[in-house]
Amino acid sequence: MKPPLLQVEDLHVWFDLPDGRELHAVRGVSLRVAEGERFGLVGESGCGKTTTILALMGLLPPTASVAGRVVLGGEDMLARGERTLAPHRWRDVAMVFQGAMNAFNPVRRIGAQLVEPMELHGVAEGAAARRRAGELLERVGIPAARANAYPHEFSGGMRQRAAIAMALACNPKLLLADEPTTALDVMVQAQIMELLVALTNELGLALVLVTHDLPIVAQTCKTAAVMYAGELAETGPVETLYHEPRHPYTRLLFAATPDLDDVEGEVVAIPGAPPRLDRPIEGCPFRPRCDRAFAACVNAPRLVAVGDGHLAACHLNAGVAA
Amino acid sequence: MSANGAGPLLEVEGLVVRYPVSRGIVGTLARRPRRFVDAVADVSFSIGRGELLALVGESGCGKTSTAQAVLRLIRADAGSVRFDGVDVGRLGAGPLRALRRRMQIIYQDPYESLDPRFRVRATVEEPLAIHHVGSRSERYAAVVHALEQAGLTPPELYLDRYPHELSGGQRQRVAIAASLALGPELLVADEPVSMLDVSVRAGILGVLDGLRRAGLAVLMITHDLSTAARFADRIAVMYLGRIVEEGPARAVIDSPRHPYTKALLSVVPRRDPRHRVNAQILRGETPNPIDVPSGCRFHPRCPVAIPACSATDPQLEPVGDRHRVACLLAGR
Amino acid sequence: MTTAELVEAPPVPVAPPSFFTRLRRSPVLSSRQALVGLGILLLFVLTGIFGPIALPHDASLKVGPVFQSPSLAHPLGTDGGGADMLYLLIDGASVSLLVGFAAAAVSAVIGGLVGLLAGFFGGRTDIALMRLTDYFLVIPDIPLMIVVAALFGRSLTNIILIIGAIYWTSTARLIRAQTKTVRERVYVRRARALGAGNTRLIVRHVLPQVTPLLIANTVLLIAYAIFAETFITFLGLGDPSKISWGRLIENAFQDDAILNNAWWAIVPPGLAVTVVVLACTMTGQAMEDAMNPRLRAGHLSVRRFRLRRWPPGSP
């Protein structure tokens, strides 16, 4: 069996708070992404999904401290912090940011902004870089001639495509996309997701898609992980997550999402709110909101295998053979 | 108390909202003719009491401008908006102010909807203060009642809170309570849940649903077809300033008749990974409203357009029980 | 067609912190820079208020030889008329500070009003008021002050009004920008949709958001105003019956202090003005920084995230 492209082991991230305390934003996340795989990281606001992928890119602010292993292509990028991570940034793992449409410098042409990472990371220079920029734009569905345009001349959808092109500039093996379609219209969203799927298929690119939108993950990813309060609640193939969820949060999250195929079905709200992450959490973090909590839940559950490639952190699974 | 008890509460007819296009310095100096963009180009619909109409469409389709014109927050350039039989566009300042008590709006962003310096009690009481309604004790009772209607119970716990102490869902409920304080008959909800977490959306939509069942008319603007399908009585699909399809929610979702509606429905992702995707992804993006295509506005992107579509601008024609479509091919 | 009606748990009621706790925690007081600035200002203000009353006799009374260097009896020496410099300095503080604060207040009121109206109403009101602001902006302030002072007499009130009428333009611009921003906020639009009139919108929603900025700006204006008073008076256009720091410097020059090597007649008042201006700037700057959180350290820091051992104690 081929080793996974990306292996994250027990990742923790803390943020310093102004009053001297700490926010424990990511609490022991482990995941595995194979080459060319599309992996969805799902959760609501504050669950730590964006912080997780920022940690993979080493783009955390100075108030952050990180622990754990992030193994990419056999090497632990986090071993010596920035020093071991920097060589991989953009060359092996690149990111499309939330609000990428606004991530462009408004006074520089799109083409020049695509060339910049290539020259910075020594991938191409001068005319060769410009040619490659044109190719990248074509690949994401923008005519190469538009490289001379400024960002404001592009529509929102086109800028998002250009942001994807910029992420591909140095031919990475892994693409991290943070809410790439959140601010886009439904049709443009479909176009962008179609593009991402095509790119992963054509280039053998692995994709980690971070979003709160479960249906998008259900339709485009093969495996997914559901995050809650900085931890993994459940992870596995998306079909299994939908049809045989083993964590109440996964089940309730699907139930809270309206669906065109089930218009008459009941749409639930999950009462309460996620726990604060600036203090220790007693027991299962989901317990106050869970509809199936019982006595064992006062102890923190561990992520255990409940099926083939399917793990869940819930006491209800105790006694289920892996 | 209503002048028009039998008919629909809100009747919009031929609504047009026009914005001037900047000519720039050169244009102004060269005295180029002023150009206009019709953000809303001849829109007609009606909403009855206890009915929830979802106005669905992508950005630039004119749904927000329509809602603002309905509430007379902006001026309509043509057409009429009749609320309970009264033409809203012709009202003077005084009657207009009185009208504001009967129709209200809640906005998309719960984090910006509340004045950070006002406690919840002050925010919900404000409409009563503006219209000089009720004594102190009457206002207190109205505030408590509104908070309960919005699902914030027990209300006493929330009265003295500041917005920053509340979650997004709670803030949106406060905004709803504030809009309910005067007992309106029509509520316009502009993307009421799009900025909230998935797990709290159903709660807010449930509040709106309960209010609808109690007789409130609701105009909900949304880009989320799944939500519209679940919570709306009727759906109107807008494209480039026009309504292209309108009808009962189930009819529009189960048997869409306009190619745009069909395409939209096909690309909305479903929860079930095993769903057989038959996505009709349209090419390009919604054109700039400045350059409206000739004939049918949708024809350049339409997968089934025929030559006649570039010449004729179709009107809304009935194709079923209160189901209308603006498409030359709809009949077939 | 029911939806599961489950409401999120209400927030845990927390007793609001007392006024003093809030004051102590407010961003202004937690900045050391602001505290130092405020402390210095407070010192000068108290001196200005209580100093002249505490003086044993009229400050300009001759108590020693002309231009006597600092001694134990007269720590700052004597001026060209033999009066004690220290007493003069204390006496002058009250006038200089009074003019500074009053002129800044006049500026703040004019600038605040112009900015508020222009920003809130927009359109023609905005254009007209901004045109007015532009006119005042291009007039060179110093020559204008000289001309007006020369024409309209040299009373303290006139000085205050002149200074106030010159320095309001930047405040107007600042307040106009802030007002425009606040006016577009959703809660203001919502209040308007509820039927609120302009007065209510301005007084209850816009003003509370604009006032902190106005206060911070006014503190900076105080610095300008004190400096302006000093040089107007130094140029001989000040109120002849009042002692201020500018007056002291003017007198020193009139009496040829430099020729007499009497640095103590010039430096102390100059230093006093400088220190007060500095204190105002420190405080005003700290207040503005506190109000704009984006000015704080961002993501362009050279330092990066840190590594940590977890669990603690593992290799």
Domain ranges of chain B: 10-102+184-325
| pLDDT value at residue B290 | 85
CB contact under 8 A, A187 and B285: yes
Residue B131's SS3 state is: coil
**C contact test, residue of A23, A50, A63, A69 with most C CBs within 10 A:** A63
C-alpha–C-alpha distance, residues A118 and B249, integer Å: 51
Predicted confidence (pLDDT) per residue in A15-41, tens digit: 998 888 999 999 999 999 999 999 999
Mean pLDDT (whole number) for C206-219: 91
**For the domain B10-102+184-325, what is the CATH code?**
3.40.50.300
Q: How far is B206 from chain C (nearest CA, A)?
A: 6
Q: Which residue has the higher pLDDT, A124 or C25?
A: A124
Over residues C286-291, mean pLDDT: 78
Per DSSP, the residues of C158-204 read HHHHHHHHHTHHHHHHHHHHHHHHHHTSHHHHHHHHHT--HHHIIII
Q: Model confidence at C2, in pLDDT bands (50, 70, 90)? A: very low
pLDDT of residue B90: 85
Mutate to test the interface with C, among B74, B130, B188, B212 (most CBs of C within 10 A): B130
Q: Is the pLDDT of residue A304 over 70?
A: yes
B135-189 pLDDT per residue, tens: 999 999 999 999 999 999 889 989 999 998 898 999 999 999 999 999 999 999 9
Which residues from C are below 8 Å from A267, CB to CB? 3-4
Question: B203 and C8: CB-CB below 8 Å?
Answer: yes
Please determine, for residue C303, whether its predicted confidence score (pLDDT) is greater than 80. no
Alpha-carbon distance of A133 to A162, in angstroms, equals: 10
Q: Give B 198-237 residues with CB within 8 A of chain C.
A: 200, 202-203, 205-206, 209-210
CB contacts of B202 in chain A (<8 Å) are: 256, 267-269
- Does residue A230 belong to the interface with chain C, where contact is any CB pair within 8 Å? no
Q: What is the mean pLDDT of residues A247-276?
A: 93
Query: Which chains have at least 3 CB atom pairs separated by less than 8 Å from chain B?
Result: A, C
Residue A11's SS3 state is: strand
Alpha carbons A119 and A109: distance in angstroms, whole number: 16
Q: How far apart are CA B115 and CA B111, in angstroms?
A: 9
Query: What is the reported pLDDT for B1?
Result: 40
Q: Is A198 on the interface with B (CB under 8 A)?
A: no
Question: CB distance A269–C304 less than 8 Å?
Answer: no
CATH of domain C30-57+78-291: 1.10.3720.10
* A288·C9 Cβ contact <8 A: yes
Amino acid identity of B109?
D
Tell me if C8 and B127 make a contact (CB, 8 A cut-off): no
Residue B195 touches partner A, C-beta closer than 8 Å: no
C6 → chain B, closest CA residue: B203
Four-point Cα dihedral C197, C202, C203, C209, nearest 10: 140
**pLDDT for C241 beyond 60:** yes
Q: Is residue C299 predicted with pLDDT exceeding 80?
A: no
**Residue C25 has what pLDDT?**
62
Range with lowest mean pLDDT among A124-128, B61-65, C310-314:
C310-314
pLDDT of residue C301: 64
Instruction: Tell me if C13 and B157 make a contact (CB, 8 A cut-off).
Output: yes
| Helix (H) / strand (E) containing B261 | helix B259-267
Q: DSSP assignment, residue A145?
A: G
Task: Give the domain ranges of chain C.
Answer: 30-57+78-291
CB proximity A12 to C under 8 Å? yes
CB–CB of B285 and A261 under 8 A? Answer: no
User: Is residue C191's pLDDT more than 50?
Assistant: yes
Select the residue of C6, C191, C193 nearest B203 (Cβ to Cβ).
C6
Kindly identify which residue of chain B lies nearest to residue A259, measuring between CA atoms.
B226
pTM, rounded to two decimals? 0.88
From C8, C193, C197, residue closest to B170, measured CB to CB: C8
Q: Residue C3's pLDDT is what?
A: 32
Indicate the residue of A10, A61, A266 with minimum beta-carbon distance to C3. Answer: A266
Cβ atoms of C161 and C154 within 8 Å: the answer is no
Distance between B262 CA and the closest CA of chain C, angstroms: 25
Candidates B131, B154, B161; nearest CB to C11: B161
pLDDT recorded at residue A73: 85
Residues in a beta bridge with A7? A32, A71
pLDDT of residue B266: 95
Mean pLDDT for all residues in chain B:
91
- Interface contact A66-C306, CB threshold 8 A: yes
> Shortest CB distance from A218 goes to which of B202, B273, B282?
B273
Task: Tell me the per-residue pLDDT of A132-162, one tens digit each, with 9 for 90 and over.
Answer: 999 999 999 999 999 999 998 888 889 999 9
What is the crossing angle of helices C85-121 and C168-183, to 10°? 40
Listed residue (C197, C202, C245, C279) closest to C98, CA to CA? C245
Task: Decide if B238 contacts B56 (C-beta within 8 A).
Answer: yes
A267 touches chain C (CB under 8 A): yes
Chain C residues touching B105 at Cβ < 8 A: 190, 193
Query: For chain A, which residues make up each domain, given as ranges?
Result: 6-92+172-267, 103-170
- Evaluate if residue C207 carries a pLDDT over 80: yes
A193: Cβ contacts below 8 Å, ≥ 6 apart = A181, A216, A219, A220, B269
Residues 46-75 of A with CB under 8 A from B: none
Among A54, A89, A268, the residue to mutate for chain C (most C Cβ within 10 A) = A268
Q: Does B294 contact chain A (CB < 8 Å)?
A: no
Q: Is the pLDDT reported for residue A203 higher than 80?
A: yes
* Subunit contact C310:A68, Cβ cutoff 8 A: yes
* Beta strands per DSSP E along chain A: 6-16, 22-33, 38-42, 64-72, 75-76, 93-96, 174-178, 206-211, 223-228, 231-237, 304-307, 310-312
Residue owning tokens 């045989």: A244
Per the structure block, which two tokens stand in for A319?
């006694």
Q: What are the pLDDT digits (tens) for C96-130?
A: 999 999 999 999 999 999 999 999 999 999 999 99
The percent of residues above 90 in pLDDT, for chain C, comes to 30
How many CB atoms are located within 10 Å of the residue A194 CB?
A: 15
Instruction: Quick: pLDDT tens for A92-128.
Output: 999 998 776 677 899 999 999 999 999 999 889 999 9
ipTM of the complex: 0.90
- B105: three-class secondary structure by DSSP: strand
Q: How far apart are CA A306 and CA A149, in angstroms?
A: 52
% of residues, chain A, pLDDT over 90? 78
- Supply the DSSP string of A107-138, one letter for each residue: TS-HHHHHHHHHHHTTS--HHHHHHHHHHHHH
pLDDT at A6: 95
Q: Which chain A positions have a beta carbon within 8 Å of B269's beta carbon?
A: 193, 213, 215-216, 218-220
pLDDT given for residue C5 in this prediction: 34
A46 touches chain C (CB under 8 A): no
- Mean pLDDT over C15-34 rounds to 64
Query: What SS3 state is found at B50?
Result: coil
Residue of B244, B265, B272 best to disrupt the A interface, most CBs of A under 10 A = B272
Is residue A313 predicted with pLDDT exceeding 80?
A: yes
Minimal-distance CA residue of chain A relative to B197: A44
| Contact residues on chain A for C307, CB-CB shorter than 8 A | 65-67, 78, 80-81
Q: Which residue of C has its CA nearest to A77?
A: C307
Residue, of A7 and C81, whose pLDDT is higher = A7
pLDDT of residue B34: 79
**Chains with ≥3 Cβ pairs under 8 A against A?**
B, C
The residues, any chain, with a CB within 8 Å of residue C111's CB and separated by 6 or more, are: C167, C168, C169, C170, C171, C172, C174, C175, C217
* Residues near C157 by beta carbon (within 8 Å), at least 6 away in sequence: none
In chain A, what is the greatest distance between 2 CA atoms, to the nearest angstrom?
A: 67
Question: Is residue C211 pLDDT above 70, yes or no?
Answer: yes
In angstroms, the separation between the Cα of residue A131 and the nearest Cα of chain C is 31
Residue B193: closest CA among B184, B180, B206, B182: B206
> Does the pLDDT of residue C9 top 60, yes or no?
no
Over residues C37-58, the mean pLDDT reads: 87
Q: Taking a C-beta distance cutoff of 8 angstroms, is the pair B120, B172 a contact?
A: no
DSSP state of A272: S
Looking at residue A29, its pLDDT comes to 96
Task: Tell me whether B197 touches chain C (CB under 8 Å).
Answer: no
Nearest to B330 by CA among B307, B309, B310: B309
Which amino acid, B297? R
Exposure string for B166-177, b = 16+ CB within 10 A, e = fewer: bbbbbbbbbbbb
Q: What is the average per-residue pLDDT within A209-224?
A: 95
Is residue C296 pLDDT above 90, yes or no?
Answer: no
Q: Which residues contact C288 (CB under 8 A, 6 or more apart)?
A: C213, C216, C217
Structure tokens at B211: 């209010």
**C307:A65 CB<8 A:** yes
Residue C8 to residue B109, Cβ atoms within 8 A: no
* Rounded Cα gap, residues A315 and A297, in angstroms: 7
In B, which residues are within 8 Å of C1 by CB distance?
209
Report pLDDT digits (tens) over B225-284: 999 999 999 999 999 999 999 999 999 999 999 999 999 999 999 999 999 888 999 988
Phi, then psi, of A302 in degrees rounded to 5: -110, 155
Q: Which CATH architecture has domain A6-92+172-267?
A: 3-Layer(aba) Sandwich (3.40)
Are the Cβ atoms of C299 and A61 closer than 8 angstroms?
A: yes
User: What pLDDT was estimated at residue A133?
Assistant: 94
Which residues, numbered 196 to 215 in chain B, qualify as contacts with chain A under a Cβ-Cβ cut-off of 8 Å?
A: 197-203, 205-206
